[in-house]
A and B are shown apart, each in its own frame.
Chain A
């Protein structure tokens, strides 16, 4: 429970900066303001290690891949709420196969799956990683969204490779939509938190 409390603390602290982790400020994304003005769907995203966060707006949807952009020029791509790629966070997740995880998560079923990610390293090389994950159903949770409380099911996915280990959490509402999550984005960025902006 402590961990979840931390996530909420992060979400509360969320400001309107960027996803910048370090280094000099990148160029702002010129499309961000326009998309926000058009009322494109938004997500509140936090970087757990930084205790900071920001809103990202959806720029494109293609074959179920939803790509959200941040004001400072990074992008995050989710497939039905599951993170599959980042661009411009640093140490980016270049591509993923999360199909097996998705099957269990959306069926709200426990089990063991494989997931695959490719990350960019400091020498511009794509490094493939395979993970074995245990998916578990943690039970019902009420998640507050402003004044309303949304009934959700909390699913946990505990993954490990030879050298890495991470825990992803997904809160699914009754319709099976992930309304809130914490997901690992790689060694460099660490854990990101996501929450739908109603």
Chain B
């Protein structure tokens, strides 16, 4: 009876919880939580990504919004305004927004957010706002706010901060310096000048349909002064409908004279279609007494069915040692669980201890020691993930060692082919260009840690070759002429290198790469990484001599050469946040540092942002002022539920120029070792038994 009563209370709590303040269900034309053209104070769920396309009048906005933390949100927007230059030409505009929810909604208080719109870029959308939103009922919310910049159009009044300082009274023209100042953070203009109020109301008729109405002070002054249609009413109305597949479609009456449409999709990287993936169950442990003791050859084929390449195998007393390369599972912990069970079902019942070492590029990275009887005890036990983790010993794998190496592995070779797709984004003449074709790659490893490899590409179809825009860079043109590498459709050498990987001492990894390092540079690259097994820190240093390759993608070189290199610090903040700081000399000979912050989900989805500041002045750098961008990487397995180490990765830079450019050496040490080190093993240990 007590349980029944408890359950009723719990059920009531769940129901009550569902009726708690509504969260952002609607996205504005700017692709951020809001009404129609106005923001509201709501946020997305932590980690969610919203993709929005909005069109009205002569404007089209495409926005990527990421809820970085429960309160902090960032957006990247690519907009198109038709006839923005007095009808003569169109404009493509890139803008970044951030907003922060200062106060969470409660029974008493509204949610309050502060936002910066287009805080760099060309400043077309430059504005700031403070906004409050309160749900009056679970269905109806009201929003009111104050806007600066372009939001201070209709009924603007003087700066509320004028009392603090005169400088708040006037908003400087962020475009004063012309195109060369774009991309600078417009610190000096934020929250300056007049402000104007905005307001709106939303009514969720049911789970799918929401009606919206708002008052917008935005007069589209800049658009109007350039010959586009004027705003004839401050009132916007519309409706959004959410389909079962998660896509939301909106239709609106905009500024009294236009029809507007939005299409948006919100998803959470933490929720893949199939949690933990589908199929590919591991073979369960057999009773130890009925283990069919087999040779290492059978073990090898059993492991290879799990995407694990067995390199070394030895049994000594009650310990079995094996070294494996994992090629299928994104999470090393899952590969480890597979290796352990394959081993338990095949080695002599007297063996009690398993030492499993992950190897990459010939370097032993991490050794995990497991007790066979723990595996047997925990396979289906209720707390098997945590208990198996606490009973495992995770250590640095130490020096390279060829004892127990399987015959026929070295020298080894590998030949393959595939297709490729290279996008080239944001050229104002054509913002989406690409090249696609066929690639052939091969490698030869005479001994562990030594790899000779190369790749050639044959373009089949390219629109990048249509690019006619000339670089106007005053720096050595190390990246700004990148489209010239796509100018013809001849066969090109992507890379051709000799690599040597080694383990000079405990917790230290080393790499030397010689040859045609990347599409645009060849030379020599050396790197050392210190990465303690259980550390949040890793420190690295890299030195390179690089010479610019010919545009034709052949074996030739150009005149330009440079010594470049960085000292790097990598830090795992926990909760999926990773930071990286690289300081040193860049390809154009400029000195500076790159800051990168990634939020990474345990299933492998990564969303990050980076910027580089060097001794190249904003003026010398040119459009964009400094190098910056975002990157998004999603494992193929996220979509398919099938194990795979392939990722779909896209780096989005508003513009690629010559300042702050780094060499793209393949197989940098942190990237190739991190997923096999202690912290990553621990983060994904939940799939050890999967």
Residues in chain A within 8 A of chain B (CB atoms): 18, 20-27, 29-31, 59-63, 65, 67, 69, 72-75, 77, 79, 84-85, 87-92, 94-97, 112, 116-118, 120-126, 128, 132, 134, 160, 162-163, 165, 188
Partner of A132, one of B7, B271, B277, B640: B7
Interchain CA distance A24-B281 in the complex, whole Å: 15
CB-based contact A26/B278 at 8 Å: yes
Query: Given the complex, which residues of B lie within 8 Å of A122, measured CB to CB?
Result: 270-272, 275-276, 603
Residues facing A in B529-576 (CB within 8 A) are none
Once the chains bind, are A95 and B641 in contact (CB under 8 Å)?
no
Q: A23-B640, A117-B382 are in contact. Are A65 and B278 (CB under 8 A)?
A: no
Q: Within 8 Å of chain A (Cβ to Cβ): is B91?
A: no
**Given A20-B278, A87-B282, A120-B686, A160–B7 Cβ distance below 8 Å?**
yes
Measured CA separation A56–B260 after assembly (Å): 54
Bitwise, B268-303 to A at CB < 8 A (1) or not (0) is 001111111111111111110000000000000000
| A95 x B640 contact (CB < 8 A) | no
Asked if B383 and A73 make an inter-chain contact with CB atoms under 8 angstroms apart, the answer reads: no
Interface centre among B281, B376, B642, B685 (most CB of A within 10 A): B281
A74 and B281 within 8 A (CB) = yes
User: Is the CB–CB distance between A73 and B281 below 8 Å?
Assistant: yes
**Residue of A22, A73, A95 most packed against chain B (CB within 10 A):** A95
**Closest A residue to B274 using CB positions:** A90
Does B10 make an interface contact (CB < 8 A)?
yes
Would A116 and B602 count as touching, CB distance under 8 A? no
Q: Is the CB of A60 within 8 A of B285?
A: yes
Q: Is B480 an interface residue (CB 8 A)?
A: no
**Residue on B with the closest CB to A118?**
B382
* Other-chain contact of B284, A20, A22, A23, A62 (Cβ < 8 Å): A62
Interface pair A126/B385, CB less than 8 Å apart: yes
6 contacts between A and B (CB under 8 A): A22-B641, A63-B287, A73-B280, A75-B281, A123-B603, A124-B603
A171–B96 alpha-carbon span in the complex (Å): 61
Number of residues from B at the complex interface, CB < 8 A: 54
- B376 CB contacts on chain A under 8 angstroms: 62-63
Contacts of A91 in B (CB 8 A): 274-276
| Interface assignment of B245: CB less than 8 Å from any CB of chain A | no
B461 within 8 A of partner (CB)? no
B652 near A: Cβ within 8 Å? Answer: no
Residues of A within 8 A of B421 (CB): none
- Select one of A74, A77, A94, A97 contacting B278, CB under 8 A: A74
Inter-chain contact B271/A24, CB cutoff 8 Å: no
Main secondary structure on B side of the interface with A: loop
Flag whether B609 is at the interface (Cβ < 8 A): no
Contacts of B379 in A (CB 8 A): 65, 85, 95
Name the one of A26, A63, A92 contacting B690, with C-beta atoms under 8 angstroms. Answer: A92
Q: With a CB–CB cut-off of 8 A, which chain B residues contact A30?
A: 305
Given contacts A94-B689, A124-B684, contact A23 B382 (CB under 8 A): no
The answer, yes or no, to whether B440 is at the interface (CB within 8 Å) is no
Asked if B380 contacts A126 (CB within 8 A), the reply is: no
Contact status A88-B278, CB under 8 Å: yes
Q: Does B14 have its Cβ within 8 Å of any Cβ on chain A?
A: yes
The answer to whether A90 touches B276, judged by C-beta atoms less than 8 angstroms apart, is yes
Residues of B within 8 A of A89 (CB): 278
Contact B383 A118 (CB under 8 A): yes
Q: Give the residue of A61, A87, A123 whose beta carbon is less than 8 angstroms from that of B602.
A: A123
Distance, CA A66 to CA B603, complexed state (A):
30
For B6, the chain A residues whose CB sits under 8 A away are 132
Mark B347-388 against chain A: 1 for CB-CB distance below 8 A, else 0.
000000000000000000000000000001011111111100
B331 within 8 A of A: yes
Contacts of A85 in B (CB 8 A): 379-380
Which residues from chain B contact A18 at a C-beta distance below 8 Å?
A: 279
Interface positions, chain B 61-86, Cβ under 8 Å from A, are none
A134 to B271, CA, bound (A): 32
| Chain A residues within an 8 Å CB radius of B690 | 87, 92, 94, 120, 124
Residues of B325-357 whose CB lies within 8 A of A: 331, 333-334
A97 touching B275, Cβ below 8 Å:
no
Question: Hey, which chain A residues are within 8 Å of B187, CB to CB?
Answer: none
- Chain B residues contacting A121 (CB-CB under 8 Å) are 270, 275-276, 686
Interface check B687, CB cutoff 8 A = yes
In the complex where A27-B280, A124-B687, A162-B10 touch, is A61 in contact with B287 (Cβ < 8 A)?
yes
Number of residue pairs A-B, CB distance < 8 angstroms = 170
Cβ of A102 to closest chain B Cβ, rounded Å: 13
Would A65 and B284 be within 8 Å (CB), given that A90-B641, A126-B386, A132-B3 are in contact?
yes
Q: Please name 17 further chain A to chain B contacts, defined as beta carbons within 8 Å, in addition to the given A94-B689, A116-B382, sorted by A numbering.
A: A18-B279, A21-B278, A24-B640, A59-B283, A60-B284, A62-B284, A62-B376, A73-B279, A74-B278, A90-B275, A95-B689, A112-B3, A120-B276, A123-B603, A124-B276, A124-B602, A124-B603
Q: Which residues of B contact A112 (CB under 8 A)?
A: 3
Please name the residue on chain B nearest to A62 by beta carbon: B287
Nearest 3 A-B pairs (CB), nearest first?
A: A26-B279, A126-B385, A73-B279
A23 and B280 contact, CB distance less than 8 A: no
Judging by beta carbons under 8 Å apart, are B10 and A23 in contact? no
Inter-chain CA distance A58–B13, complex, in Å, is 42
**Interface presence of B591 (CB below 8 A):** no
Interchain CB contact (< 8 A) of A60 among B10, B272, B283, B385: B283
Contact of A59 (CB < 8 Å), options: B4, B277, B284: B284
Render B219-262 as a binary contact track against A, CB cut-off 8 A, 1 for contact. 00000000000000000000000000000000000000000000
A96 to nearest B CB, angstroms?
6
CB-based nearest B residue for A123: B602
Most buried by B among A23, A74, A89, A134: A23
A124–B331 touching, CB < 8 Å: yes
Complex CA gap A165/B279 in Å reads: 26
How far, in Å, is A87 (CB) from chain B's closest CB? 4
Q: Is the CB of B382 within 8 A of A75?
A: no
* Residue among A20, A62, A95 making CB contact with B286, cutoff 8 Å: A62
Say whether B272 contacts A94, CB under 8 Å: no
CB nearest to A29 among chain B residues: B281
Provide the residues of chain A in CB contact with B286, threshold 8 Å: 60, 62
Measured between C-beta atoms, what is the minimum distance from A136 to chain B in Å? 12
Q: Does B601 contact A (CB under 8 A)?
A: yes
Find the residue from A18, A26, A124 having the highest chain B CB count within 10 A: A124
Cβ-closest chain A residue relative to B333? A124
Fill in one digit per residue for B665-690: 1 if any A CB lies within 8 Å of its CB, else 0.
Answer: 00000000000000000011111011
Which residues of the partner chain B approach A69 to less than 8 Å between Cβ atoms? 281
- Contact assessment for B383 and A87 in the assembled complex, using a CB-CB cutoff below 8 Å: no
Q: In the complex, what distance in Å separates the CA atom of A180 from the CA atom of B258? A: 63
Which of B272, B278, B381, B685 counts the most chain A CB atoms within 10 A? B278
Q: Are B382 and A128 in contact (CB under 8 A)?
A: yes
Nearest CB on A from B563, distance (A): 42
Asked if A118 contacts B385 (CB within 8 A), the reply is: yes
Does B284 contact A75, Cβ atoms closer than 8 Å? Answer: yes
The residue that A79 contacts in the complex, of B275, B279, B281, B380, with Cβ under 8 A, is: B380
Instruction: Report how far A31 CA is from B280 CA in the complex, Å.
Output: 12
Are A22 and B273 closer than 8 Å at their CB atoms? Answer: yes
How far does the alpha carbon of A92 sit from the alpha carbon of B688 in the complex, in Å? 12
A192 to B570, CA, bound (A): 46
Shortest distance between the CB of B271 and any CB in chain A (Å) = 5
